[in-house]
A and B are shown apart, each in its own frame.
Chain A
Amino acid sequence: MQNSNSSRLALVAAAAVMAIPGLAKAQVKVGVMQGLSGPPAIVDFGESYLQGVKLALKDYEANGGKTKIELVVYDDEANPQRAVSLAQRLIQNDRVPVVIGTVSSGNVLAMAPLFQKAGVPLVAGPAAVTSITQQFINEKPSYIFRCSMVTRFETNAVTDWAAASNRKIGLIHSTTGAGLTAVKEIDEDLKAKGKSLAVVEAAAPGVSDLTPQLIKMRDAGVDLVLNFHESYELTFRPLSRINYRPTIAGPWGLSSMKVPDIVGRDALEGTIMSQAFDASTPRGKSFNERMRQEYGSAYRWPLVASLGYDAGQIVFKAVEHVGKADPAAIRDAIEDTDGLQAVTATPTRPFSATDHECLDKKDVFLGVWKSGTVERVK
């Protein structure tokens, strides 16, 4: 009997606390959409980015965030139709005031109009295709932001270096939308710098061997191969067999810790890629250590995870600032983000009314594989 009375008292007390404004924490749902199944390259991006977002939430809570944040996580399977359907679900059913995601650029481009029309801010990532934030930037206001690498910036960084290196350049790319966009941008960049591609070779996304393409590169005397095929490892596999050792440079995907596991450290040594995370800085070192503690061997992609972390920081800070599920106010708070302590090269004030990218061209630098780790190219 006494127990029963105690329970009732506890329930009444809890109800009273909930009923008094200011005593209970406000709760805001944050939508997260990522590619968590489907092609392995997509999954590596999606899982790594989500790891970063989750660590940012943990830090937000540890630092005494007043607004309780609940993540609503969905897997879009890298499927544009599913992404659109999930976007509608997040907006209409879950009524989230802000969303983070996703991997596939095609998915982001397909669902961005829904978020813009509904007036719900989307912080895109880790999708990289250049046009993502440009779609609505002239609409005042634009609800589409991004915290990720930007294809144009990374091809700029790679082609700047390639053009200065005075080598014969070849390009291998996939026949996906992202691959074809990269070809166009690289070709334009190199022409603007007075250079041209000696050989351009393509491969479908699901191929298992690039020997024919690399033989053509070798026979044309190409000594710098720009590797913009998403199955990064395939470019390395035939090299010793066809007695060919060019320098390989490519996109940020080449910095995944899965790549040395697959390709081997020796084959990867000296490979160049675009970067926005410097593991040698105190903040970078600390982030790496914390991610290893949190995720162990499942932590495999510092750059993608760190961009996810920064996206999380920006969104959670904006939610905290607004304190309720108000999409328009959260959008404004995201755009006004200032004093951000980013772990990537993202500046302290990343956005403005005309720039919704975390990273600018100047923030993207080159990394190189040295003895199993990615170092910043000096």
Chain B
Amino acid sequence: MTFATLIQLMIGGIASGSIYALVALGLYVTHLTVDKVNFGQGDFMMVGAFLLLSTRAAGLPPLVCVPLVILALGLLGWALERVAIRPLERARRSPLGSYSWILTTAGVAFILQNVIELVHGRSVQHPTPLLPGGHDAIVHMMGVGFALEELLVVGAVAVLVAAFYFFVFRSRWGSSILAVAFNPEASSLLGVNTPAIKTGVFVLASMLAGAAGVLIGTLITLHPHIGLIFTIKALIVAAVGGFSNPVGIFVGGLLFGVAESLSNYADSSFGDLYPLIGALFVIAIKPSGLFAERAAHVR
């Protein structure tokens, strides 16, 4: 393998891995705060991708479509928390009550898949390119072709991860999230609007899925059932990176994406299997993830 080939493979893997990381960050923030994740996080990404497809088809420019899609996904996250998660709080003490959110979030994901199928059909869709020139906008450097859309994905995700980190660990809102994560009852007594924070983390997670949906169309063709595999990979990435460390999740996503790319080059027959086996080893040896802090959870 030449150096140019290695770089070519890595850039593709980093782009895919960035998307996994973005989806996984949504899982991280809700898990951190309320110990629950949206099992339809990948499907929320899919909805974001199709909303972008519709708004672009309606003739709106990307600068209008992208904020619209992310806001719409924020609303969807709000609805998810109010309809599929909060009502279950009352059933917490029943034998299966504390795990009912797995069923309800997965149920919402199935509903979304079917709605998108009804609107867009079951066939594959090719999103309108975000950048002029689309997939053919390539920059060649040192024998390596860099697709501008792939560079856009990597750059955008890096900025979003930095913004997310700042928001959660350096802002007043982030402090409220961490306070609720640490002790919701004490936070309430200290004046934190706990219900609003619990809803807010699902809004934030959905907006991250919306951003992933905007970016994913530059890498793959779309259909209403792409979500599940992204949810699974995001869960793996979050487990490998460490469920309590957003930077670890970002690095875990990139590692997983690059591992997929390299393993497909080495042996395409089982290319997707080796990264999963690797992830299993990592989890077996270090269950808290590669980049987990000593205290695995703020609690």
Task: Please say whether chains A and B are actual partners in one complex.
Answer: yes
Interface residues of A (CB under 8 A from B): 36-41, 43-44, 175, 201-204, 206-209, 211-213, 215-216, 219, 231, 233-234, 237-238, 240-243, 258, 261-262, 300
Contacts A203-B271, A240-B135 hold; do A219 and B124 have CB atoms under 8 A apart?
A: no
Contact with A along B246-282 (1 / 0, CB 8 A): 0000000000000001101100110110000000000
Contacts A212-B264, A237-B135, A242-B8 hold; do A262 and B221 have CB atoms under 8 A apart?
A: yes
A172 vs B134: C-alpha distance when bound (angstroms): 25
Shortest CB-to-CB span from A41 to chain B, Å, is: 8
Q: Does B82 contact A (CB under 8 A)?
A: no
A258 vs B221: C-alpha distance when bound (angstroms): 12
Q: Are B5 and A44 in contact (CB under 8 A)?
A: no
Partner of A211, one of B121, B140, B261: B261
A207 vs B233: C-alpha distance when bound (angstroms): 13
A-B contact pairs, 30 of them (CB 8 A): A36-B122, A37-B122, A40-B223, A43-B121, A175-B269, A201-B268, A203-B264, A203-B268, A206-B229, A207-B271, A207-B272, A208-B16, A208-B219, A211-B8, A212-B265, A212-B271, A213-B265, A213-B268, A219-B2, A233-B126, A233-B221, A234-B221, A240-B138, A241-B8, A241-B138, A241-B146, A243-B145, A258-B123, A261-B126, A262-B126
Chain B residue with Cβ nearest A238: B12
Within 8 A of A (CB), among B215-255: 219-221, 223, 225, 229
Chain A residue with Cβ nearest B149: A241
Contacts of A206 in B (CB 8 A): 229
Chain B residue with Cβ nearest A298: B121
Within 8 A of A (CB), among B115-131: 117, 121-124, 126
Q: Are B123 and A44 in contact (CB under 8 A)?
A: yes
Contacts A219-B5, A258-B124 hold; do A209 and B12 have CB atoms under 8 A apart?
A: yes
A261 vs B16: C-alpha distance when bound (angstroms): 23
Partner of B220, one of A37, A41, A208, A243: A208
Contacts of A211 in B (CB 8 A): 8-9, 12, 261
Contacts of B229 in A (CB 8 A): 206
Q: Are B269 and A202 in contact (CB under 8 A)?
A: yes
Q: Are B124 and A212 in contact (CB under 8 A)?
A: no
A45 vs B146: C-alpha distance when bound (angstroms): 35
Contacts of A201 in B (CB 8 A): 268
Contacts A237-B135, A240-B136, A242-B8 hold; do A209 and B219 have CB atoms under 8 A apart?
A: yes
Q: Are B8 and A215 in contact (CB under 8 A)?
A: yes
**Given A40-B223, A231-B124, 18 extra CB contacts under 8 A:** A37-B122, A38-B122, A39-B225, A40-B123, A202-B268, A202-B269, A202-B271, A207-B264, A209-B261, A211-B12, A213-B264, A215-B5, A219-B2, A234-B221, A258-B124, A261-B126, A262-B126, A262-B221
Shortest CB-to-CB span from B77 to chain A, Å, is: 25
Q: Are A37 and B268 in contact (CB under 8 A)?
A: no
Contacts of B145 in A (CB 8 A): 240-243
Q: Are A40 and B122 in contact (CB under 8 A)?
A: yes
A172 vs B219: C-alpha distance when bound (angstroms): 20
Shortest CB-to-CB span from B8 to chain A, Å, is: 6
Contacts A209-B12, A241-B147 hold; do A262 and B124 have CB atoms under 8 A apart?
A: yes
Shortest CB-to-CB span from A262 to chain B, Å, is: 4
Contacts A40-B223, A233-B221 hold; do A216 and B16 have CB atoms under 8 A apart?
A: no
A204 vs B276: C-alpha distance when bound (angstroms): 14
Contacts of B5 in A (CB 8 A): 215, 219
In the A-B complex, the 6 residue pairs with the closest CB atoms: A212-B265, A212-B264, A208-B220, A43-B122, A241-B145, A262-B126
Within 8 A of A (CB), among B1-47: 2, 5, 8-9, 12, 16
Q: Are B269 and A212 in contact (CB under 8 A)?
A: no
Shortest CB-to-CB span from A43 to chain B, Å, is: 4
Contacts A37-B117, A40-B123, A43-B122 hold; do A212 and B219 have CB atoms under 8 A apart?
A: no
A300 vs B140: C-alpha distance when bound (angstroms): 36
Contacts of B140 in A (CB 8 A): 243
Q: Are B124 and A233 in contact (CB under 8 A)?
A: yes
A36 vs B221: C-alpha distance when bound (angstroms): 20
Shortest CB-to-CB span from B110 to chain A, Å, is: 13
Q: Are B9 and A215 in contact (CB under 8 A)?
A: yes
Chain B residue with Cβ nearest A209: B12
Chain B residue with Cβ nearest A266: B136
**Best-buried of A41, A211, A233 by chain B (most CB within 10 Å):** A211
A242 vs B261: C-alpha distance when bound (angstroms): 14
Q: Are B272 and A212 in contact (CB under 8 A)?
A: no
Partner of A212, one of B117, B146, B220, B268: B268
Q: Are B16 and A209 in contact (CB under 8 A)?
A: yes
Q: Are A204 and B261 in contact (CB under 8 A)?
A: no
A40 vs B220: C-alpha distance when bound (angstroms): 14
Contacts of B123 in A (CB 8 A): 40, 43-44, 258, 300
Contacts of B117 in A (CB 8 A): 37
Shortest CB-to-CB span from B258 to chain A, Å, is: 11
A39 vs B228: C-alpha distance when bound (angstroms): 13
Within 8 A of A (CB), among B91-125: 117, 121-124
Partner of B271, one of A40, A41, A204, A258: A204
Contacts of B146 in A (CB 8 A): 241
Chain A residue with Cβ nearest B2: A219
A206 vs B140: C-alpha distance when bound (angstroms): 29
Contacts of A262 in B (CB 8 A): 124, 126, 221
A376 vs B64: C-alpha distance when bound (angstroms): 45
Contacts of A216 in B (CB 8 A): 265, 268
